[in-house]
Structure 1
Amino acid sequence: MKQLYANYVNSFKGLVPEIWILSFVTFINRAGAMVIPFLSIYLVNNKGFSLPQVGMIMTCYGVGSLLGNYVGGILTDIIGFYKTIVLSLFFGGLGFIAIQFIETYIAMCIGVFTLMFAVDVYRPGIFVAAGTYGKESDTTRNIGLIRLAINLGFSIGPVVGGLLIAKVSYNSIFWVDGATCILASLMLLFALKPKKVEHKEEHTNVEKQGVKPYKNGLFLLFFIIMVINSIVFVQYFSSVPLYYSDHHKLSADVIGWIMFLNGVMIVFLEMPLISWLERKKMSKTIATFWGIILLALSFIILIFSDWFGVLIIGMILMTLGEMVGSPFSSALALDMAPKGRKGSYMGLFSMSFSFSHIIGHNAVLNSIYQFGYNTTWVILFLVLLFAGLLTLYLLKRLKTSSEYSTY
């Protein structure tokens, strides 16, 4: 046990203070993200919108996220990641506070689109920051620490949100969410000494190298792989909980505990796992491949038995895939981005998750309606196998390309 604890602590050693500050700010921000899990319920019960209207509002959510990531990447290259993150947190906080006062359907569509645009401008900047501070060899661990902060915050946020709704009101979560975003922006503003960071970012002339991400064939292939992976991954936030409820007849609290397993595993295991894989010299592309395969296995295992334990095994497989694939795929995207264009590359990379929200939920739920759960899980398994083959092809191309020294 002592050795396990020592290995866990050692996985964090050597990370620079700036990454710890960014991670703490991210934790504060994500712990306050309590509106999102309750948004659809709020729109139906408190605002009186119909389910088709809520569906369109959630589409606006995805489109806002998509454009926010795109613009965030451009802003990161123009004004630097520091200013981009601060502005996103501050205006996102104002957006969370303001959206509770919207009453009409069209205005809510515009409001949710604008809110998610402001919130997700943040994403490319945080990835670039992870690759800027500390040694280049620490980039994957930097991303892992920030992901740990995100997951720890997401584990706490819904619990606090539920208590606020029960004890105070729905509107209270908008105030708290907005306040935590603004608090996070102010903490970053003062804790990271902005003038010093700005000097490093804005007064060092970095010549733009390479081509734009949309003209980089290998990066576009990687983007397609990430879109496919993300479309399947987000089912754990829509289709899979429905499967637990409809097929296995599980209550909401039991479903919550199964989902909680994901956050607990990431908090305690991801950083040691990343450190171990780096010591084993696993390439970032191979780690991405295994992340996809583990996610595929988490779906196909569901068709073999109705035993409750299969659900736990499926969640463990998905979480292992997330822990292996996500940090290394993010680090691979940074490696593939040439100097002076990291913001735009990470903007496109982040947009893969936004595309998944626009496409994934609707497509898979319609598949379940037409073909049933088990057939849909087989389809998702085969789609991920195809993505795995594309990843191996990408690895082959990276090895033969003179542009990339790491893969």
Structure 2
Amino acid sequence: MLKTAFQRYINNFKGFTREIWILAFITFINRAGTMVLPFLSKYLKEDLHFSYSEVGWIMVCFGTGSIIGSWLGGKLSDKIGFYKIMIFSLLTSGLMFFVIQFITSFVGLCISMFLIMVVADMYRPAMFVSIGAYAKPENRTRALTLVRLAINLGFAAGPALAGLIIMSIGYRGLFWVDGATCIIAILIFWIKVKEKKKSAFTDKEHPGEVLTHSVFKDKPFWIFLFTCLVSGILFFQVFTTIPLYHKEQFNLTEFQTGLLLTMNGLMIFFLEMPVVSYVERHKISKVKVVTMGCFLMAISIFLMLINTWSGVLIIMMLFMTVGEMFAFPFSNSVALSRAPKGHEGRYMAIYTMSFSLAHIASSKVGMEIIEYYGYQMNWFVMGILGLLGVIFGIWVFRLIQKEHKIL
């Protein structure tokens, strides 16, 4: 029984091209090395002694750079190719991490954080486009999921390693490691993967398909992006307001909060690929699955209204994790499938921008609501926002049905 289950799990990882495995591997190296980010606000507050307000502004510059970088990365991927953008982004941001540790002024950090994120986040849409080029169409969602697993594993390993580095050589060590991993990852990619102008798996009958309409006129895509934005805002609460709530309401330690996040990471690692394979095999509408994911996230946030029993935090995290497994891998796939050939870059740019925006909105809106009205009001507002995202998801599904496109 166990052997059969294990074999079935392993089968989910079969059928990928060599390039997709290399892409997943370098993404893991890159994300495991992304150690500055989880400790950035701590570094700014404790090492450089900035006020909360100044830390907030530096983080806004960080998020704004991320949005612009995502847009530029997608636009340039269509113009000059994803391969060049990926190499430029990781190589340049790696070198910039070496330099940024020597900048300690408020204005200097605002500018440098903005610039480094413009360059670093050009990588994300380019990487999504590369999956479209190197993966077979029937494996595309699973390939996106494999890369997401690599990101999750990298994020799980990174903070623990970062803690050891801070304890042994201080925060400066993080900048050296972060920069080095960016450069090592992209050198592996450059040596092992050759540039591909066009996918070998694209439609042979219509190789020169041109863009018939602007991305800005793709109504279902924009409505769908609202559901993605809402899902992102709800999910990022896990990293912004919820850890503070754990401490203030239930007096949980950092270790206990960490255990809940570890549970999230392990569930994603073991269950996401089988879920994706099941949906692919049974040809279930991906828009429907994303909408269900948003609904489960909304329930997860509403559960936080129960503030007298700490066990609810485990149930809440279970709902949030299953919602994440439904929403994120399939929303990638839907966004990519909406794009006409040769214009995947700008679609994936706008898609990744929605998550950069969600990151800014999640912390800023959540913190403001909590400061003025308390945690309970934040959970209520976020839950209602989640239900609004679900309504938009149903609307998109109906619009796409009218187009006779099954996503």
TM over 0.5: yes
Change in 2 beyond 3 A, CA 1:199/1:326? closer
Provide structure 2 residue ranges, at least 5 long, that are not aligned to the other structure. Answer: none
Q: CA separation in 2, counterparts of 1:222 and 1:371?
A: 30
Q: Residue 54 of structure 1 corresponds to which residue in structure 2?
A: 55
Q: Which amino acid aligns with 2:26?
A: V
SS at match of 2:273: helix
Q: How far off is 1:303 after superposition?
A: 1.6
Q: Which amino acid aligns with 2:319?
A: L
SS at match of 1:391: helix
SS at match of 1:250: coil
Q: Which amino acid aligns with 2:151?
A: I
Counterparts of residues 8-407 of structure 1 (less than 5 Å): 8-194=9-195, 197-198=196-197, 206-401=208-403, 405-407=405-407
| Amino-acid identity (%) | 41
Q: How far off is 1:217 after superposition?
A: 1.8
Q: How far off is 1:89 after superposition?
A: 0.9
Q: Which amino acid aligns with 2:70?
A: N
SS at match of 1:238: coil
Q: Tell me the number of residue pairs that the alignment of Structure 1 and Structure 2 aligns.
A: 401
Q: Quick check: 254-263 or 304-313, which moved more?
A: 304-313
Q: CA separation in 2, counterparts of 1:94 and 1:406?
A: 44
CA deviation string 1:343-371 (max 9, x = no partner)? 00110010001111222211111111222
Q: CA separation in 2, counterparts of 1:242 and 1:214?
A: 38
Q: CA separation in 1, counterparts of 2:127 and 2:293?
A: 22
Q: CA separation in 2, counterparts of 1:134 and 1:48?
A: 47
Q: Contact 1:213–1:348 at 8 Å: present in 2 too? A: no
Provide structure 1 residue ranges, at least 5 long, that are not aligned to the other structure. Answer: none
The TM-score normalised by the length of structure 1 is: 0.95
Q: Contact 1:131–1:142 at 8 Å: present in 2 too? A: no
Alignment root-mean-square deviation, CA: 1.6
Q: Which amino acid aligns with 1:192?
A: V
Q: Contact 2:240–2:363 at 8 Å: present in 1 too? A: yes
Q: Contact 1:212–1:341 at 8 Å: present in 2 too? A: no
SS at match of 2:238: helix
Q: Contact 1:335–1:406 at 8 Å: present in 2 too? A: no
Q: Contact 2:128–2:348 at 8 Å: present in 1 too? A: yes
SS at match of 1:282: coil
Q: CA separation in 1, counterparts of 2:401 and 2:390?
A: 17
Q: Contact 2:210–2:341 at 8 Å: present in 1 too? A: yes
